Chains A and B, each alone.
Chain A
Amino acid sequence: MSLLSCKDIGISFGGLKAVDGFSIDINQKELVGLIGPNGAGKTTIFNMMTGVYLPTEGDIQLDGKTIVGKKPYDIVRMGAARTFQNIRLFRDLTVIDNVKIALHHEIDYGLFAGILRGKKYDRAEEKAQVEAMELLKIFEMEEYAEQKAKNLPYGKQRKLEIARALATNPKVLLLDEPAAGMNPQETQELMDTIHFIRDHFQIAVLLIEHDMNLVMGICERLIVIDYGKIIAKGTPDEIRSNEQVIGAYLGS
């Protein structure tokens, strides 16, 4: 059984059919790329997978359970975490608090324990501190822990968003153009990090990218969409030589 599976999902905005008959099966620990030109519907697919949009047709299952109609905060607890194309950090909070907020459900004390600040509070907060620091370490960001997120350089903000998503302990990580705005060297580093995350945390990764050369190197499987429809799927080599894909990219 696959971890995340979409069956014929579609959504319309007014007259526009943004996504139509999209299906995908992502297995455990798989690294899959979702590519397509601007406006193809990639982000919209993420939004349906994470409960931001309600698909007008089709079904999405995570670990065998349907997530259609569930709230984003329930879906993330079921194991699908995401980042955003236009970075959405808690800008005025510290880097470490950004991560701790995503650890919310792991931190185990109630409102009154939080007010009384007893042993339980201390222990849980200390544990959260350690866990959050460990995640920051993976991205070599420990020294930024107490800085406000908005003061981070752009590339670090993108990484923080991934660290924050990982803090929710996902089974599948959905990354929406994580390399957007990065220079080639930062991009290469990031791709290595993504590979490392997959191996280290043993999770599946679905990666959106519109520059297809970027993902060729690290994804095992690619799905190409254009105008909301799948136009090709297969290994990077198969995609590279696919006429329709070349057409879509040249046409855009």
Chain B
Amino acid sequence: MTEKRKRLVINISLILSVYVILFVLIKLKVINRYYEGIMIACLINVILATSLNLATGFLGQLALGHAGFMAVGAYTAAIVTKTVGMPGTLQLLISLVIGGIAAGAMGVVIGIPALRLRGDYLAIITLGFGEIIRVMLFNLDITGGARGLRGIPKLAGFNVVFWVCVLVVAILYAVTHSKQGRAIMSIREDEIAAEAVGIPTVNYKLLGFVLAAFFAGVGGGLYAHYMTVLDPKTFNFMRSVEILVIVVLGGMGSLTGSIIAAIGLTILPEALRSFSEYRLLLYSALLIVMMIFKPGGILGQREFSVQGLLKRLKKPVVEGGEE
């Protein structure tokens, strides 16, 4: 118990200090609007990657339509704010939840048929889903068609995005460390064995997948209220692939790995702006190199923790034998 409390205190103080440092740097204008924008993009990608990791890394179901869920959340949240219109953080939070629920509901609709079957049907169905969403965004009136959705109140800044991101990661961490999380991981490990020890696999596949969709929707809602305009082109297949690359690179089944990879892969293309046309090339090369040298991703299935690091530093042991 004390161990658990200690860990909680360390983590909270760590997050708080990161927040305070960034906050002060923004106030002092050391971090300008451009860098702030990159930071927010990082945080949103953290939400998208960690949520996808639940479905693909922890549950073991390849999902190729995460940008679709993000889009559903983004447009729903934006439309809610635009129609209800009582600006403020509470308004934002409500629209984020509604956006998340809309994305989660989509997850139920496509998850039920796809997840009842064993095998990689989900990959194909989510792929189709992402495309259908994109086509719909281009053609519906309510989403603004090809011109996109404009005039969304700018309700999300660094503060909100940071804390929502922390909350999402905390929830995902708790889920993966609960009996529900163990059930989800058992399906990845061996679906037949999971059923043989009493795990209702269809339910837990659905739970993992729908939670992932929900949080992608929340991430989309944040994105909408930060950007203030939504362009249907941004939610294409390549966006889904980008998120998947982050998950694979960080390590399937490692939330901290996703966080590190999300930050790295958001900053890198910005830093190499002049090469931006080669971004996909860079991603593919990175993936290939990774698959050769570290197929489990940066962290494999492990989680990074300060305590773990300290323990390692205290006794530089011959660890060996893992991965």
- What residues of chain A have their CB less than 8 Å away from a CB belonging to chain B? 50, 52, 71-73, 76-77, 81-82, 84, 88-93, 97, 100-102, 104-105, 107, 109, 111, 114-117, 121-122, 124-125, 128, 151, 164-165, 167-168
- Which residues of B274-323 are within 8 A (CB) of A? 301, 321
Chain A residues whose CB sits within 8 angstroms of the CB of B253 once the complex forms: 92
Partner of A102, one of B1, B192, B197, B207: B197
A93 CB contact (under 8 Å) in B175, B189, B197, B198? B189
A115→B175 contact, CB < 8 A: yes
A72 CB to closest chain B CB (Å) equals 4
Give per-residue flags for B196-232: 1 if the beta carbon is below 8 A from chain A beta carbons, else 0: 1111110000010000000000000000000000000
Complex-state Cα separation, A188 to B264, whole angstroms = 55
CB-CB under 8 A from A82, the residues of chain B are 196
Q: Sample 14 A-B pairs with CB under 8 A, ordered by A number.
A: A73-B200, A76-B195, A81-B197, A89-B189, A89-B190, A90-B194, A93-B186, A97-B185, A101-B186, A104-B182, A109-B178, A115-B175, A122-B1, A165-B197
Contact indicator B186/A90 (Cβ below 8 Å)? yes
For residue A90, which residues in chain B have a CB less than 8 angstroms away from its CB?
185-186, 189-190, 193-194
Complex alpha-carbon distance, A124 and B178, angstroms: 10
Judge if B152 is at the interface, Cβ distance under 8 Å: no
Measured CB to CB, the nearest residue on chain B to A52 is: B192
Q: How far is the CB of A239 from chain B (nearest CB, A)?
A: 29
List, in ascending order, chain A residues with CB within 8 A of B198's CB. Answer: 73, 76-77, 102, 104-105, 168
Residues of B participating in the A interface, judged by any CB pair closer than 8 Å: 1, 171, 174-175, 178-183, 185-186, 189-190, 192-201, 207, 253, 301, 321
Number of A-B contacts (CB under 8 A): 99
| B192 to A, closest residue via Cβ | A88
Chain B residues near A117: list those with CB within 8 A.
174, 178
Known: A93-B185, A114-B180. A101 touches B175 (CB 8 A): no
Across-interface contacts of B183 in A (CB, < 8 A)? 101, 104
CB <8 Å contact, B197 and A76: yes
Given A72-B195, A76-B196, A88-B193, CB of A101 within 8 Å of CB of B174: no
Q: Is the CB of B197 within 8 A of A168?
A: yes
The interface residues of chain B lying within 8 Å CB-to-CB of A52 are: 192, 196
Chain B residue at smallest Cβ distance from A116: B174
